[in-house]
């Protein structure tokens, strides 16, 4: 089982609709969860982080965390064409005995005008 799993997509959503991106993780000890956005040919940029169960809202973005189900999601309301990108879920985990960020493979999102 991969440490962090995402549906690679592509996910196609009409403009103005809600885009829902999902991520599961395997390490129950993970404490911190992050969503990065990566435009094609560019480097990733952090858009949201969440530590506690429940929802966290920032503008059109809402991160949701359910530690019991080992599930984290990102909702994008009123989707815009500029939201078209790959969204990477990242979870803190242990690599070689040290705590590091582990990334999922990313979900490619396309917003259709």
49 binds other proteins (CB under 8 A): yes
* CA 82 from centre of chain: 17
C-alpha–C-alpha distance, residues 47 and 63, integer Å: 10
17 binds other proteins (CB under 8 A): no
End-to-end CA distance of the chain: 36
Using CB under 8 A, count the residues that bind other proteins.
27
Residue from the set 65, 88, 109, 111 that interacts with other proteins by CB under 8 A: 88
Q: How far is the CB of 55 from other proteins (least distance, A)?
A: 18
1 binds other proteins (CB under 8 A): no
CA angle 16, 52, 62 (to 5 degrees): 5
Q: How far is the CB of 78 from other proteins (least distance, A)?
A: 25
Complete DSSP assignment for 54-99: EEEEETTEEEEEETTTTEEEEEESS--GGG-EEEEEEEEEEETTEE
100 binds other proteins (CB under 8 A): yes
Residues lying near other proteins in the complex (CB under 8 A)? 4, 6, 8, 31-34, 42-46, 49, 88, 90, 92, 95-96, 98-106
């Amino acid at each position: 089982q991969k440490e962090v799993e995402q549906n690679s997509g592509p996910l196609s959503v009409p403009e103005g609709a809600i885009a829902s991106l999902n991520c599961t993780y395997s390490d129950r000890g993970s404490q911190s969860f992050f969503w990065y956005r990566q435009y094609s040919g560019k480097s990733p940029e952090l858009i949201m982080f969440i530590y506690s169960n429940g929802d966290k809202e920032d503008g059109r973005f809402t991160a949701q965390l359910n530690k019991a189900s080992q599930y984290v999601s990102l909702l994008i309301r009123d989707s815009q064409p500029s939201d078209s990108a790959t969204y990477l879920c990242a979870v803190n985990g242990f690599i070689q005995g040290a705590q590091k960020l582990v990334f999922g493979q990313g979900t490619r999102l396309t917003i259709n005008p």
